[in-house]
Structure 1
Amino acid sequence: MVKINETSTPEKSSSDIKGELSYDDKVIEKITGIALEQTRGLLDIDGGFISNIKNKLVNTDNPTDGVSVEVGKEQVAVDLNIIVEYGADVRRVYDDIKSTISREINKITGLDVVEVNVRVVDIQKKEEFDKKSTSLQDKAQDVTSSVGKSASKGIDKAKDTMKSDEEPARVK
């Protein structure tokens, strides 16, 4: 009987492999911004003057605007400037923000959120906020759309006129 020597290489577990996992600040900022999108009473995270001008000019969906973080090897600190909906209990909004940020960052990265600083920079009614949030790009699209509709109506009218000109006259 022939005996075959079997040699096996022991598999390395992930704990035997050296290395380091780290996160860019913008990753934590993005997690924070996306996580807060559904917070009741929170109208916006305010990115400051330049960011607000940029957002007035074009539609941008940058969830990192207005979010500032400090990321360590095991912990995170978050700073936000927010706009709150008029009538909302700001303390409840703050508590929701803290628990949402802490839960989502820990779930996704394993990092512990040790500090969340929130500064309320404005309070607005939802209608007022929606009106102010219309960008120049939105306004330009509205104008373009109405011009396009008017042009289509004009073309249709011209076609109808041309068809009626082609019909033989009923009277001489």
Structure 2
Amino acid sequence: MPNDTINNYTVDHDSNQHLDGTITYTDKVIEKIIGRALQSVEGLLSVNGGLFSTIKNKMVNSEDVTEGVDVEVGTKQVATDLKIVVEYDQDIPAIVDSIKSVISDEVKLMTHLEVIEVNVEVVDIKTKEEFQNDSVTLQDRLTEAGQATGEFISNQASKAGHIISETKEQVEEQIETSRVE
């Protein structure tokens, strides 16, 4: 019976072998693993969740790594479908091979599930600059407009305060002048 000593505790590896049970994973868990793993793939600009996801992402900033990742999770295997945007002037088949490799490795490492299928649909290609420009959301634009409006109002209030101060001085001078005469 193998034993390991960890921090002065003895762990008996065979004592839990008689316990029955299963581990199941929700689709969301596997989607998150895949989404986070895809962040390391060079040449992959984004995983696209389709029309409504694109519209939502144009409206507000989103950090949802599961967008555009659809999975089918079984008890021993996983299949996934992805819609991706890749960087222009890159080797798309090599990027897809990297995607398959990183997905398979990460899912296997974390869950011991086998990835049996990775279907990739390339929905767009863009330069990094085009992608960054397209990634500016309505939320970003409203924030910028709000900041610009705030600066404008602050400048106008400062000007108004200066004018009021000058006018006050002029009125005080006129009052003082009218008393002396």
Residue 11 of structure 1, CA deviation: 10
Show the counterpart of 2:95: 93
Deviations 1:92-151 (A, max 9, x none): 211211111111111221212122111111111121122222211111111111101111
| d(CA) in 1 for partners of 2:163, 2:72 | 69
User: Which of 15, 19, 22 is equivalent to 2:21?
Assistant: 19
User: Which of 121, 126, 129 is equivalent to 2:128?
Assistant: 126
Quickly say closer, same or farther: Cα 1:13–1:34, change in 2 above 3 A.
Answer: same
Residue 38 of structure 1, CA deviation: 2.8
Alignment of 1:21-170 (within 5 A): 21-167=23-169, 169=173
| d(CA) in 2 for partners of 1:99, 1:67 | 16
Q: Which runs of 5+ in 2 are unaligned?
A: 1-11
TM-score of the superposition, structure 2-length normalised? Answer: 0.81
Residue 85 of structure 1, CA deviation: 0.6
| d(CA) in 2 for partners of 1:78, 1:71 | 9
What letter is aligned with 2:122? Answer: V
Residue 59 of structure 1, CA deviation: 1.5
Quickly say closer, same or farther: Cα 1:149–1:14, change in 2 above 3 A.
Answer: farther
Deviations 1:15-70 (A, max 9, x none): 22221100001110111111112321111111111111111121122111111111
TM-score of the superposition, structure 1-length normalised? Answer: 0.85
Question: Once the two structures are aligned, what percentage of the paired residues are identical?
Answer: 45
Deviations 1:140-165 (A, max 9, x none): 11111110111111122222223333
Q: Which runs of 5+ in 1 are unaligned?
A: 1-9
